[in-house]
Structure 1
């Protein structure tokens, strides 16, 4: 019988997850649209332990406010530490209709990147927040794509 050592636990604490979320400006929101998953990049801010993004009327807005579960994800790579990380929030989305709440998001500099009107503010209040960080394999400089971020350690 072969035994293997389980991998170490690389889980991030809730506070670490919130800190990583707070340091980023772009994430991906996953929604159920027409009975299948769709993923949309969004810029966002954190306000009172909630993720807020703006959108126009359309697929993203409809998917966010239909009462189905949503997920929000960010990830990154630290070339100096040679570690990668990922944070996943799961919960429900709601349309922010209160002007004071919209003003609070605007005060945090929630400004859309894409041109055009983005009059709808959406809040994702996580019911679950998880994350992990792990050491990445050192790349083989000769066979790794030039765009691979891990190469920065050697260049």
Structure 2
């Protein structure tokens, strides 16, 4: 664990996985044709992978063209916060067995839309930071 100063601390990989494993919401960042897109979504973290559901649209089209993604989740109070970033490859589930397994996960759409397509992100890089929230320090003018 590395401390940048008193207010920012880098997490160990194990700490980042622990927080990621407890999350149900985050943001998925993708890039297609050199244009970034970001999507808020609910997820289920299982066996060091991130499972999500989606429907036809920009998100799915983006994943079909470029499987490299970044997922970010965070939380904060008035005093502390944290952020975890997981980078990896997204794969649209197509096999009967893998879809049946995904159907058993506690992952349901939060809004009343039909989302029948599962995507699993295999994470190959994870990092996290903890923050102590407070006022900006005084500037030193020389």
Q: How would you bin the TM-score normalised by the shorter chain?
A: 0.7 to 0.9
- Match among 81, 85, 88 for residue 82 of structure 2: 85
Higher mean C-alpha deviation, range 125-134 or range 58-67: 58-67
For 2:102 and 2:77, how far apart are their aligned partners in 1?
28
> Which stretches of structure 1, 4 residues or more, deviate above 6 A after TM superposition?
none
Which of these two proteins has the greater Rg computed from alpha carbons? 1
Superposed CA offset, 1:98-132 (max 9, x none): 23323333322111112222111011111110000
CA contact (8 A) 2:89 2:121 kept: yes
In structure 2, the CA distance between the partners of 1:112 and 1:84, relative to structure 1 (3 Å rule), is: same
Q: Which has the higher contact order (CA 8 A, sep 6+)?
A: 2
Aligned to 1:106: 103
Aligned alpha-carbon RMSD (Å): 1.9
**In the comparison of the two structures, how many residue pairs are matched?**
132
SS of alignment partner, residue 5 of structure 2: coil
- 1:3-152 matched pairs, under 5 angstroms: 7=5, 10-79=9-78, 82-137=79-134
Distance in 2, matches of 1:41 and 1:134, equals 22
Please give the secondary structure, in 1, of the residue aligned with 2:15: helix
